[in-house]
Structure formats: C-alpha cells, structure tokens
Amino acid sequence: MDEAMKPAAEEARNLNFLEEIIEEDLKTGKVQSVITRFPPEPNGYLHLGHAKSICLNFGLALKYGGETNLRYDDTNPVKEDIEYVDAIKEDISWMGFQWAKECYASDYFDQLYAWAEQLIEQGQAYVDDQTQEEISKGRGTVETPGVESPYRNRSVEENLRLFRGMKAGKYAEGEKVLRAKIDMASPNMLMRDPILYRIKYASHHRTGDKWCIYPMYDFTHGQCDSIERITHSICTLEFDVHRPLYDWFIEVLGIFPSHQYEFARLNLTYTLMSKRKLLELVQKEYVTGWDDPRMPTLCGVRRRGYTPESLKLFCDRIGVSKRDQMMDIQLLEWCVRQDLNARSNRYMVVQKPLKVTLTNWEKGKVEWFDCPLNPAEPEGASRKVPLTGELYIEQDDFMEEPPRKFFRLRPGGEVRLKYTYIIKCKEVVKDADGRVVELKCTYDPSTKPGGGEWRSVKGTIHWVSTAHAREIEIRDYDHLFLKEDMNSIPEDKDYMDYLNPDSLVVGTGYAEPALLEDASGIAVQFERTGYYFKDRDSTDERAVFNKTVALKDSYRPE
Ligand code: ATP
Ligand code: MG
C-alpha cells in the first residue's frame, strides 16, 4: 500500500481497539466466530453504564456475524432477586438486542464444583481453616509478600474430604474456605491463594437450598465464559488485575480458552452509576423508584422519554476507550434531541398562560387549522388545531418594555400565531397590583397562511384556544446531583449531600386537544419548548408528561 494513503485508509475504517483485536483474531484463525456475553449480576436495575456494555457486546457480535449470550452472574445468593432478572431482560429487549442464550452462572454450579475437585486432585487447591482476618493478614501487602497458610500442605485426600464436608453442610459459615494454591509472593495480590469457595447458608433464587457453598467471582466468570465458548469476554478496566487469574484457571483446568479484554467504564456528569448507591436512593425514597425519570437507570430514562436509538447514538459517539472517561451528560441530551427532532410529533402547549382576546374575532367562531405533525414532512400526517377569539400565550412571549432584539409581542406590536394569523396588541389589561392579566389584540384576516399574500413578521409564537385547552401535569426534571463529578467526593462528605433538592418541579400546561390523542409511543415536542413523554401516572382526567429534554441548548458536540 502507498504509505501516504495508509493513515487515511485506517481512519476511514475507524476501528476501535476491540474491533482491531477481533479482526486480527478472525484473520489469524485464532477464533472462527465471535461470541460475546453480557454478564449482569441480578442485584439491581441496569443503568446507562450497562447500556454501553450492552451496545459493545451485542454490537460487536452483530458486526462480525456472531452471537451474544445473556449471562446472569448470580453467585451471590443474598443480594439477588428475580425482580432484577426480569427487569434486565426487559431493558435489553427495549434496547433492541436479542440474546442467543439465556444463561445463569448458577446453572454451572455442578461443573464448577467438579472443577474445584479437579484442582484439589491436581494439588492446586486446599481447604483453609483460618479465619477471614487471618487470611487477609496472611496475604501481606503490595510491598511485602504474604505468608503461607498452615493448612496449605494438606493432602489431596484430606482436602477432598473437607471440601465434600463443606458442601454437605458440616461446617459453619466462615469456618472453612477453599483456596487455590498459587503463589503467596506474587506481586499480584489476587494470585496469593485466592478464595474459590465460601460457605453461605442462604437460599439462592434459582438453586434454592441445594448449595451451602458458593463459588467466588474469579472462580466463576472465566469458566462460565469457557463453557459457553465465549471468544471475547469484555469487561471494565478494574478487572485487568483479575486477568492473570482468569487465564490461570483456564490453563490449569485445560478448558476452552476464552480471553478477557478490558475497556473504560462510562461515567456521566451530575449522576452516579453504582447499583449499590442507586438502590440506596430507592430504599431511602429520595426517588420514587428504580424507574424514577431522574434515575440513570434504563427504566428511568425510558420513562423520561429517552429512546434506544438515542442511547445507541450516544454509545457510538463516546467510542471505546482504555482510559477512564467522564462524559458530559449534555452529549447524551444532545443525542436524545437528535433522535427526537427527526421523529417526534409536534404540539402546542402553553405553560405560563397569559390570556389574549381577539377583539375583532366573530363571536363563537371556531376555525380549524390543519397543521403538520412534523415540519420535516409538511405533506405527512397532520393534526387539527382550533382557533377561537380567546387564547393563551406564554407570559414570556409578551413584554411591556422589551429590549431591542425582542421579536415577540409588545404593546402596539405584531406577532404571528404559529400556523395562523398575525395579531396586533392593542391594549394591556392589568390587575390591581399592576400585573398584566390580559392582552386585547386584533387579528389580520388577510394573513392566513396559504391564503392571499404573505406578510411576514419577525416573531412567531405558540398558543392554544382557551375553550379547547386541556390541562395537563408537567414534571420538569433537573440533574439528580448538584456536583459535576460525583466520583470525586471529599472524604468528609457523602454522595447524598449533593442531592439536588430541585430535581423535580411539577407544573401545569394547557395543551391543544390533539396532544391527548397522540399515538406515536415516543416523546412529543411541545413546540418551542422541549420534548415531553407521557407518563404512566396519567389518568383519563389528567395526563402527566415528563420533560425529556429541553429543545435548545448552546451545547455542541466536538
Ligand atoms: P455496579 O458497580 O453499578 O454494580 P457492576 O459492574 O457491578 O456495576 P454488573 O451487573 O456486574 O455491574 O455489570 C454487568 C456488565 O456491565 C459488566 O460487564 C460490567 O463491566 C458492565 N458495566 C457495569 N457498569 C458499567 C459502566 N459504568 N460502564 C461500562 N460498563 C459497565
Ligand atoms: Mg458487579
């Protein structure tokens, strides 16, 4: 290849480092096809960080004609719940991905147990009677090597007998553990005889009371990958120190060689992505539930009106990095806007109403206007909007003494009512306190769009006919936390100290009637304001809309 052409060609392909690895593996024949897995622990609802992992795992398999398993990493019986298992499936399906197999680490408990016995027989695992404290202490520190357990050199027979006893429930929790016999002086602390099994008398959501010993993460994950013949096991950066152990088990057991690769986890400004902390927010009722629209959970953003398409666009834009990244939540909001701008239906809703009376309007007359649901498709579907002689406009669209560049309504000034006539403000009516309560205006019948000659004015404002206005509840959301980087909280502070007390503001809106008939199933645009998604709290009497994202923002992605 021409050297000068090379960078451009590479750039055009724009592969991320995982794609590079996969393409190399396919080319050299190291793997025949790509099999990935998404391995959530069912101890909480999925969040936006998981969306990144989902897009990566499913996306890579799709791109290279492979498959992705959904694997529940369910080795901790105490924190796990069937509620989470179901919610995770719902979220992945909502994202638009289909898993090849639904797997559970707990389905492999028999095989894992057999492998533990195999290690004992190979002289590579032993039962340790030390207490948790003794084991921790014996591990040493990063600077000093550990000391070997006094139980380290038990015979194979004794270890087998004791381990079977552990399984049979002969011992109390904490009395014994099974450890791998690796190297107590290894510079990698995880290689200093890691614990493989601990005793836990807890019912498991799938295996019930069959087991009272449970395998540790490190003794589970790689072997599950191997059983499922996962070729590329992708996880977050903090697992890179686990990789030698992952490889060690695969090697000494002589099983299918899955490989682990690490990428940087996603962090977002003004929010948190730890299931433990999100659970605490739910339990302490700082939010209404896992699907509170302020939550960074997938069910939360779904209820808020974010679309799977916008999340995929976001994951695409942020790419895959090997260094930890703090992403600007505004980029995510920009992605949501991009998607909704193209697809959402438009309606007019007034949120801070100011009454306008058209003094020259024929009493009792209702004129219906055919207005496109999406201005990008003027010939597409439309809705009917009624105009009468009494309207609401936004208070902010009128100023008695406006600054120079104010193009909306002012005393004596003109403005176009969106889709209809130009009106002129003739009189400002005030209450006893001097507040503006009504504008008396005239409309110019010659300015009907599509009829006669087009006269233009600088400002166009939205409006609703008061007689037709439908009152709706509007829930306006702000960031859940006030601090931009919630990963760096000072020692003397708690993350709860940064909760935004104004993250939810409930208001009222006056909507054109067609809004209540919208059947698009996605967020709609309230013209000139933002995107809003109908909430499940809506009743026949009162519709509730969640603000998805504001319409405009100065933010521009790089
Ligand atoms: P949490 O700390 O929120 O509990 P976790 O990593 O323990 O997260 P798991 O259920 O174990 O949650 O995660 C399933 C998969 O999603 C793992 O492969 C994990 O690496 C990935 N994942 C979790 N959080 C993020 C994140 N913020 N960004 C990218 N991937 C993530
Ligand atoms: Mg986890």
Q: Is residue 7 part of a domain?
A: no
Cα 239 to averaged position of ligand 2 atoms, centre (Å): 11
217 Cα–ligand 2 center, Å: 9
Q: pLDDT for 188-234, tens place per residue?
A: 999 999 999 999 999 999 999 999 999 999 999 999 999 999 999 99
Same domain, 228 and 285: no
Give the ligand with the smallest distance to the CA of 39: 1
* Chain centre distance of CA 470: 32
Report the separation in Å between the CA atom of 41 and the middle of ligand 2, taken as the mean of its atom positions. 6
Nearest CA to ligand 1 atom 3: 274
CB 320 within 8 A of CB 545: no
Q: What is the CATH number of the domain that holds 127?
A: 3.40.50.620
Average pLDDT over residues 100-119: 98
For the chain, what percent of residues have pLDDT higher than 70? 97
One domain for residues 251 and 302: no
Clarify whether residues 341 and 367 are in a common domain: no
The answer to the question of residue 362 being in a domain is yes
Query: Is residue 112 a part of any domain in this protein?
Result: yes
Select from 263, 285, 315 the last residue of a domain: 263
In sequence order, which residues have a C-beta less than 8 Å from that of residue 366 and are 6 or more positions away?
386, 387, 388, 465, 467
Q: So what's the pLDDT on residue 1?
A: 42
State which of 242, 263, 284 marks the end of a domain.
263
Q: Which-ligand-closest: CA of 236?
A: 1
Domain assignment present for residue 2? The answer is no
- CATH code for the domain in which residue 453 is found: 2.40.240.10
Tokens 């084991």, located at residue = 135
Active site positions, annotated: 41, 265, 275
- Mean pLDDT (the chain) is 94
For residue 4, being part of any structural domain is answered with: no
277 & 243 share domain: no
Task: Clarify whether residues 355 and 433 are in a common domain.
Answer: yes
User: How far is residue 553's CA from residue 3's CA, in Å, rounded to a whole number?
Assistant: 43
Residue 147 shares a structural domain with residue 250: yes
Residue 104 has pLDDT above 60, yes or no: yes
Residue 121 · residue 156 · CB < 8 Å: yes
Could you give the percent of the chain with pLDDT greater than 90? 91
Q: Does 3 have pLDDT greater than 50?
A: no
What pLDDT is stored for residue 5 in this prediction? Answer: 45
- The Cα diameter of the chain in Å comes to 102
Identify residue 349 by its one-letter amino acid code.
V
**What does the block give as tokens for 547?**
């603000």
- Say yes or no to pLDDT of 10 above 50: no
Tell me if 558 is assigned to some domain.
no
Ligand 1, atom 4: closest residue by C-alpha: 275
Query: Contact 542/473 with Cβ under 8 angstroms?
Result: yes
Last residue of a domain, one of 215, 234, 263: 263
Segment 323-380, tens digit of pLDDT: 888 999 999 999 999 999 999 999 999 999 999 999 999 999 999 999 999 988 888 8
Instruction: Quote the CA–CA distance of 509 and 392 in Å, as a whole number.
Output: 11
Mean pLDDT of 131-135: 96
Alpha helices by DSSP H, listed for 64-199, are 82-95, 109-121, 132-138, 156-167
Nearest CA, atom 18, ligand 1 = 235
DSSP 8-state class, residue 241: G
CA distance 306 to 315: 13
Span 58-70, average pLDDT: 97
In a shared domain, residues 224 and 361: no
**Kind and range of the H or E run holding 463:** none
Ligand 1, CB within 6 Å, residue ranges: 39-41, 49-50, 52-53, 73, 235-236, 265-266, 273-275
pLDDT at residue 450, rounded to an integer: 82
Report how far residue 24's alpha carbon sits from residue 7's, in angstroms, rounded to the nearest whole number.
18
Q: Nearest-5° angle of CA 141, CA 145, CA 147?
A: 105
Q: Burial of 418 by CB count in 10 Å (0-12 exposed, 13-18 middle, 19+ buried)? A: middle
534 and 442 fall within a common domain: no
Higher pLDDT, 553 or 147: 147
- Domain identity same for 111 and 235: yes
CA within 13 Å, CB half, 329: 22
Average pLDDT over residues 499-520: 97
The answer to whether 385 and 348 are in contact (CB under 8 A) is: yes
Domain that holds residue 289: 268-345+472-550
- Domain identity same for 298 and 370: no
* Per-residue pLDDT reduced to its tens digit, 158-180: 999 999 999 999 999 999 999 99
pLDDT in tens, 385-439: 999 999 999 999 999 999 988 999 999 999 999 999 999 999 999 999 999 999 9
Query: Is the same domain home to 158 and 306?
Result: no
Q: What is the pTM of this model?
A: 0.93
Q: How far is the CA of 46 from the centre of ligand 1 (A)?
A: 8
Residue 12 confidence (pLDDT): 52
**Atom 23 (ligand 1): residue with closest C-alpha?**
50
Q: Is residue 48 part of a domain?
A: yes
Token pair belonging to 40: 């959530």
Please tell me the total count of domains within the chain.
3
pLDDT band at 9 (very low <50, low <70, confident <90, very high): very low
Q: Would residue 10 count as lying in a domain?
A: no
Q: Which residues surround ligand 2, an ion (CB under 5 A)?
A: 41
**CATH code, domain with 328:** 1.10.1160.10
Nearest ligand (C-alpha, residue 38):
1
Q: How far apart are CA 170 and CA 162, in angstroms?
A: 9
Q: Are 334 and 358 in a shared domain?
A: no
Query: Residue 454 pLDDT more than 80?
Result: no
